[in-house]
Amino acid sequence: MATTAETIHKPQTVRPPNLEDHRLACAAFSWAQARRALDESLEGRPGFNMATLAVDRHARSPHAAKLALRWLGKAGARRDLTYAELSRLSNRFANVLKDLQVDAGDHLFLLCPRLPELYVAMLGALKHQCVVTPLFPAFGPEPIATRLTLGHGRVLVTTSSLYRRKVQALRESLPELQHVLLITDDDAPPPPGTQDLRALLDAASPTYQTRPTDAQSPALLHFTSGTTGKPKGAVHVHEAIVAHVATARMALDLQDDDVYWCTADPGWVTGTSYGILAPLALGVTLIVDEAEFDAERWYTILEQQRVSVWYTAPTAVRMMMRSGSTAARSHRFPCLRFIASVGEPLNPQAVRWGLEAFGLPIHDNWWQTETGGIMIANYLSMDIRPGSMGKPLPGITAGIVERSDDGSVREITEPGTEGELALRRGWPSMFRAYLGEEERYRRCFAGDWYLTGDRAWRDADGYYWFVGRNDDMIKSAGHLIGPFEVESALMEHPAVLEAGVIGKPDPLLGELVKAFVVLRPGARASDEVTRDLLGFARVRLGAAVAPKELELVDTLPKTRSGKIVRRLLRARELGLPEGDTSTLEAA
């Protein structure tokens, strides 16, 4: 495999980056030391709680009056919270849970637009030692119910309109869901079986004594998709914050006076690790925008809020590119000093477009829900090779491996050879379980290697290059979508006999979800049926997950054991070679 000759040289920076020399930092870094530094910041207070480290620690320091979070409402409202205020508000939320007799270890779900209460509830629940799952609010009722059930949700924080539209009808099928706390956003009276969160917060005490928290106790449960079976609940522990902090310092170069904007929703792991925990723990000012993507709005936020570090996603960058760099150049960004992106491959054009539009390249980095934090990155102090994910972080050992039939793996050391991307286990934000699925968790490891499911290669200088997934997972607009979940939803439609779902390359979304559907005997193929099925899937799954294209077909390619071969659907769709078809069912 050839590496591109193109290099974007590291910039001259006014002050030294946090990570000045990658090689030296790798030699000097240790997780034990990173952990000790956070421990010491607790000044002898027992326990190791993410929320204490993220806010309370600052609320007791000269940082107390510093702006922790600036919230920008969709309709132009603005709310500022200092570290002291965020600490008190999250104390109130922790007390609400205590008064409801919610216990440490209980599972709490957040299904909220990016409102201040989302941040308050997340931090308060962590202080109370609940296990928190933020859900993407654009999910439809089905993914929400599946995750609440799998995750044993006892408490749900949501808005009244989301509750009415997406949860109320399913409530009876969720017997474990005991408390629904609503942020009212409409005039209707609260539905039965719910409580008004703002009234509860007002009545609760602003002081709360967080009990000593075991660093190894579960803190976050992030769902991620699988190719087969149900979504997987990746469990992360309080200690993960050691990795959030260290990686945000090194890979995002966050420094004390930064104004930082992470555009990811907390319903995805990026929006929690780097949209809440890392920046607060580092004491920077966080910008939160409630609204959805709009290029002009984003340029205005970057300019007017004087954002200095911006963490975004390739799809958003591509959408901005579509509106051209003239739009960007009608704004000025004197404060912006670092841009990073994650979630899907960042096209070399996008890296270069950053230079055109902002005078800064975009720094790609790689990680996944299971890793809990950035593993491979382009750093401020490093030459960028556009199209490469960069180099592993200090403290992270990556490798390219090949699995053997007996379950063992062989490391491929020759540069330029493609294999599976693997990481040596042991970093603090590594997931500790797939909830309730020991075997599935065990299968992710071979000896000391965690196997990521991604294909990649490393060049002679240690840069990693992403090739694709090892499996049928779909990455659409940065969201990992399991084909099985989409197929299952389609199968609920009375006209559907079976469905196969693939990711189809798309210039904007990376991949779009495309479904192939075989109708039941008697159902007649027509444009109307296609439209009906697309609408059906959209209502059930939500716009982010539902197929954007759907094709009615007579048969689906299957193995002799009856498994749909999505690889073949994809090859046929793209006109690629079909590869080995010897195990297929005769058509």
- Find, among 355, 354, 458, 448, the residue nearest to 414 by Cα: 458
Rounded to whole angstroms, the Cα distance separating 434 from 417 reads 31
378 touching ligand AMP, by CB under 6 A: no
**In this chain, which of 93, 353, 358, 366 binds ligand AMP, going by CB under 6 A?**
366
Q: Work out the angle at residue 269's Cα, subtended by the Cα atoms of residues 264 and 270, and round it to the nearest 5 degrees.
A: 40
Rounded to whole angstroms, the Cα distance separating 360 from 202 reads 45
Query: What are the residue ranges of helices labelled H in 167-213?
Result: 197-203
**In this chain, which of 106, 344, 420, 472 binds ligand AMP, going by CB under 6 A?**
344
102 touching ligand AMP, by CB under 6 A: no
Q: Which is nearer to ligand AMP, 315 or 365 (CB)?
A: 365
Q: How far is the CB of 390 from ligand AMP (least distance, A)?
A: 9
Q: How far is the CB of 220 from ligand AMP (least distance, A)?
A: 13
Q: How far is the CB of 300 from ligand AMP (least distance, A)?
A: 27
- Find, among 266, 433, 270, the residue nearest to 344 by Cα: 270
Q: Which is nearer to ligand AMP, 35 or 363 (CB)?
A: 363
Main-chain dihedrals φ then ψ at residue 406, nearest 5 degrees: -80, 5
Query: What are the residue ranges of helices labelled H in 503-554?
Result: 527-541
Rounded to whole angstroms, the Cα distance separating 118 from 187 reads 20
Rounded to whole angstroms, the Cα distance separating 445 from 435 reads 16
**In this chain, which of 368, 381, 429, 476 binds ligand AMP, going by CB under 6 A?**
368
Q: How far is the CB of 499 from ligand AMP (least distance, A)?
A: 22
Rounded to whole angstroms, the Cα distance separating 230 from 440 reads 11
369 touching ligand AMP, by CB under 6 A: yes
| Helix, strand or coil, per DSSP, at residue 114 | coil
**In this chain, which of 153, 218, 345, 387 binds ligand AMP, going by CB under 6 A?**
345
CA-based torsion, 259, 263, 267, 273: positive or negative: negative
Query: Per CB under 6 A, which of residues 214..273 are in contact with ligand AMP?
Result: 224, 269
User: Binders of ligand AMP: how many residues, by CB under 6 A?
Assistant: 19
- Report DSSP letters for 39-81, one per residue: HHHTTT-SS--HHIIIIIHHHTSGGGGSEEEEEE-TTS-EEEE
Q: Any idea what DSSP says for residue 8? A: B
Query: Per CB under 6 A, which of residues 450..469 are in contact with ligand AMP?
Result: 452-454, 466, 469
Q: How far is the CB of 377 from ligand AMP (least distance, A)?
A: 9
Q: Are 350 and 392 in contact (CB under 8 A)?
A: no
Q: Are 248 and 274 in contact (CB under 8 A)?
A: yes
CA-based torsion, 156, 159, 160, 166: positive or negative: negative
Q: Which is nearer to ligand AMP, 215 or 374 (CB)?
A: 374
Q: Which is nearer to ligand AMP, 72 or 421 (CB)?
A: 421
Q: How far is the CB of 301 from ligand AMP (least distance, A)?
A: 23
Query: Per CB under 6 A, which of residues 161..220 are in contact with ligand AMP?
Result: none
Q: Which is nearer to ligand AMP, 337 or 363 (CB)?
A: 363
Rounded to whole angstroms, the Cα distance separating 325 from 321 reads 7
Q: How far is the CB of 314 from ligand AMP (least distance, A)?
A: 8
Neighbours of 529 (CB within 10 A): 18
Cβ-Cβ contacts under 8 Å for 550 (sequence gap 6 or more): 514, 515, 516, 517, 530, 533, 534, 537
Q: How far is the CB of 67 from ligand AMP (least distance, A)?
A: 29
85 touching ligand AMP, by CB under 6 A: no
Q: Which is nearer to ligand AMP, 91 or 369 (CB)?
A: 369
394 touching ligand AMP, by CB under 6 A: no
Map tokens 């200088």 to a residue: 461
Per-residue contact string for residues 467-486; x = within reach of ligand AMP by CB under 6 A: --x-----x----x------
- Find, among 53, 69, 219, the residue nearest to 133 by Cα: 219
Rounded to whole angstroms, the Cα distance separating 400 from 43 reads 41
Q: In this structure, what token pair is assigned to residue 89?
A: 């508000």
Q: Which stretch binds ligand AMP (CB under 6 A): 100-108, 113-121, 320-328, 363-371?
A: 363-371
Q: Which is nearer to ligand AMP, 348 or 453 (CB)?
A: 453
Per-residue contact string for residues 399-438; x = within reach of ligand AMP by CB under 6 A: ----------------------------------------
Q: Which is nearer to ligand AMP, 142 or 511 (CB)?
A: 511
Q: Which is nearer to ligand AMP, 163 or 484 (CB)?
A: 484
Q: Which stretch binds ligand AMP (CB under 6 A): 94-102, 121-129, 362-370, 439-447?
A: 362-370
Q: How far is the CB of 58 from ligand AMP (least distance, A)?
A: 28
Q: How far is the CB of 388 from ligand AMP (least distance, A)?
A: 9
Rounded to whole angstroms, the Cα distance separating 391 from 402 reads 20
Map tokens 């508000």 to a residue: 89
Q: Which stretch binds ligand AMP (CB under 6 A): 82-90, 289-297, 336-344, 577-585?
A: 336-344
Residues making contact with ligand AMP (CB under 6 A): 224, 269, 342-345, 364-366, 368-369, 389, 452-454, 466, 469, 475, 480
